[in-house]
């Protein structure tokens, strides 16, 4: 039965949009108020399609719904796979009044969103995220894109969806490893902006890992609210929004080193946040006790606590040098002044950075 648990708005003026969080929404919730024309193209992957495609189609009564099914996995987040979406849109004669709907995790959302940003110079799209990570993070905020062999998410666009529909029931089919990966981003919001939420997470981590619906609803809502607040203040990452990248500079280096898809994005971010906390202590901001609290919580979410086998500090330095946050060659990192208080800096000491890298390589 359809049950809307929470609803919130990402406030971006004329580009504002709702996030609807609930249970039993797929197959029941009517998304047609957010569809401009008569055509809908659902973009999904071969893991999600057998589970949720038919229910997703039912959210667009009276529309012409076409489907493109991509191979599942971060390693397919490339131009070649993106082009399958363009092929389908053109073969089915979708016009610039079409609406693209992303049904799946972060990879599907990023690719479908980028296709929407660039098909005929931009068409509307709707996010229907089915993984915890995409529900709490990537489906909100309008970042879209694909990977380049030399760096993650290097080609993309800002393109806000018309609406985000989150059905927490989809988490019932999610592998535990992906639940943990999603929790990394949930914990991130506590670390960067919301110390009380960290306390809540410490109390509810077991409920979250066992997929308790009430706990998940609360965690998703609080995460989306935090992200929406930050995005509303800084849509295109001129400043504040960069704090959402806590752990991501280290994390992207890990993902690239490991080969896309071998480490999940959230897993790499989990380790990356431990590294950021560690560097924050060395920089004289965070207390060792707070670092321990952060590391423990991330560990309780079953996230890895060391860099991949064989990855050296030289690997980190080389891979971090292409991070999008860098300006004119200077490495920029998100660090913590305290739990719940993040900042961006290009001034971290090279010695401290090296010490942190040494502490996390094997």
Nearer to a copy of itself, 141 or 251 (CB): 141
Residue in 63, 188, 222, 252 annotated catalytic: 252
Q: How far apart are CA 307 and CA 304, in angstroms?
A: 8
From candidates 3, 75, 84, 86, binder to a copy of itself by CB under 8 A: 86
Helix (H, G, I), strand (E, B) or coil at 356: helix
Which of these, 211, 319, 212, lies nearest to 268 by C-alpha position? 319
* Cα three-residue angle 225-227-232, rounded to 5 degrees: 95
State residue 349 phi and psi, 5-degree precision.
-70, 135
Helix (H, G, I), strand (E, B) or coil at 286: coil
Min. distance of Cβ 119 from a copy of itself in angstroms? Answer: 7
Binding positions for NAD(+): 72-77, 106-110, 130-131, 143, 152, 170-173
From candidates 104, 113, 145, 251, binder to a copy of itself by CB under 8 A: 145
Q: Decide if 218 is catalytic.
A: no
Q: How far apart are the first and last CA of the chain?
A: 49
Interface with a copy of itself in residues 208-247 (CB under 8 A): 236
Nearer to a copy of itself, 158 or 200 (CB): 158
Q: Decide if 143 is catalytic.
A: yes
Min. distance of Cβ 97 from a copy of itself in angstroms? Answer: 5
Nearer to a copy of itself, 55 or 249 (CB): 249
From candidates 2, 9, 32, 95, binder to a copy of itself by CB under 8 A: 95
Which region, judged by CB under 8 A, interacts with a copy of itself, from 24-32, 85-93, 168-176, 188-196? 85-93
Q: Which two tokens stand for residue 342?
A: 């993040």
Q: Which residues have a Cβ under 8 Å from the Cβ of 191 and sit 6 or more positions away? A: 198, 246, 273, 277, 294, 336, 339, 340, 342
Interface with a copy of itself in residues 23-62 (CB under 8 A): 37-39
Interaction of residue 83 with a copy of itself, rule CB under 8 A: yes
Q: Residues touching a copy of itself: how many (CB under 8 A)?
A: 39
DSSP symbol at 327: B
Residue in 227, 282, 291, 324 annotated catalytic: 227
Residue in 159, 188, 248, 293 annotated catalytic: 248
Encode 120-174 in three state secondary structure.
CCCCCEEEEECCHHHHHHHCCCCEEEEEECCEEEEEEEECCCCEEEEEHHHHHHC
Cα-Cα-Cα-Cα torsion 71, 75, 76, 77, nearest 10 degrees, comes to 130
Nearer to a copy of itself, 238 or 284 (CB): 238
- Per the CB < 8 A criterion, the answer to whether 75 and 134 are in contact is no
For 103-114, b/e burial (b = at least 16 CB within 10 A) is bbbbbbbbbbbb
Nearer to a copy of itself, 303 or 319 (CB): 319
From candidates 6, 158, 234, 340, binder to a copy of itself by CB under 8 A: 158
For 334-345, b/e burial (b = at least 16 CB within 10 A) is bbbeebbbbebe
Residue in 45, 55, 147, 245 annotated catalytic: 245
Interaction of residue 91 with a copy of itself, rule CB under 8 A: yes
Interaction of residue 157 with a copy of itself, rule CB under 8 A: yes
Give the residues lining the site for a copy of itself (CB under 8 A): 37-39, 79, 83, 86-87, 90-91, 93, 95-97, 117-122, 143-145, 148, 150-151, 153-158, 236, 321-322, 324, 326-329
**Residues noted as catalytic:** 121, 143, 185, 227, 237, 241, 245, 248, 252, 265
């Amino acid at each position: 039965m359809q049950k809307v648990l929470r609803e919130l708005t990402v406030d971006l003026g004329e580009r504002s949009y709702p996030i609807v969080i609930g249970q039993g929404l797929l197959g029941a919730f009517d998304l047609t108020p957010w569809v401009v024309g008569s055509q809908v193209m659902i973009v999904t992957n071969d893991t999600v399609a057998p589970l949720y495609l038919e229910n997703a189609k039912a959210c667009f009564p009276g529309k012409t719904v076409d489907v493109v099914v991509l191979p599942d996995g971060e390693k397919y987040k490339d131009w070649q796979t993106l082009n399958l979406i363009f092929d389908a849109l053109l073969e089915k004669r979708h016009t610039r009044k079409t609406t693209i709907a992303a049904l799946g995790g972060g990879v599907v959302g990023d690719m479908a969103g980028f296709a929407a940003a660039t098909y005929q110079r931009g068409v509307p799209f709707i996010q229907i995220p089915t993984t915890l990570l995409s529900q709490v993070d990537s489906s909100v905020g309008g970042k879209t894109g694909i990977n380049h062999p030399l760096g993650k998410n290097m080609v993309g666009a800002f393109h806000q969806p018309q609406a985000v529909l989150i059905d927490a029931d989809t988490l019932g089919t999610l592998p535990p490893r992906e639940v943990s990966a999603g929790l990394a981003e949930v914990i991130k919001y506590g670390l960067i902006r919301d110390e009380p939420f960290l306390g809540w997470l410490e109390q509810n981590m077991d409920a979250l890992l066992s997929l308790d619906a009430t706990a998940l609803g609360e965690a998703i809502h609080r995460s989306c609210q935090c992200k929406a607040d930050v995005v509303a203040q800084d849509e295109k990452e001129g400043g504040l929004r960069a704090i959402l990248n806590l752990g991501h500079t280290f994390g992207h280096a890990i993902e690239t080193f490991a080969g896309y898809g071998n480490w999940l994005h959230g897993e790499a971010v989990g380790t990356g946040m431990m590294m950021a906390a560690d560097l924050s202590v060395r920089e004289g901001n965070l207390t060792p006790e707070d670092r321990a609290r952060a590391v423990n919580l991330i560990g309780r979410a079953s996230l890895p606590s060391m860099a991949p086998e064989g990855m050296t500090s030289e690997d980190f330095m080389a891979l971090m040098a292409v991070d999008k946050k860098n300006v004119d060659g200077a490495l920029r990192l998100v660090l913590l002044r305290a739990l719940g208080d993040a900042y961006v800096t290009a001034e971290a000491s090279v010695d401290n950075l090296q010490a942190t890298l040494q502490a996390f390589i094997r």
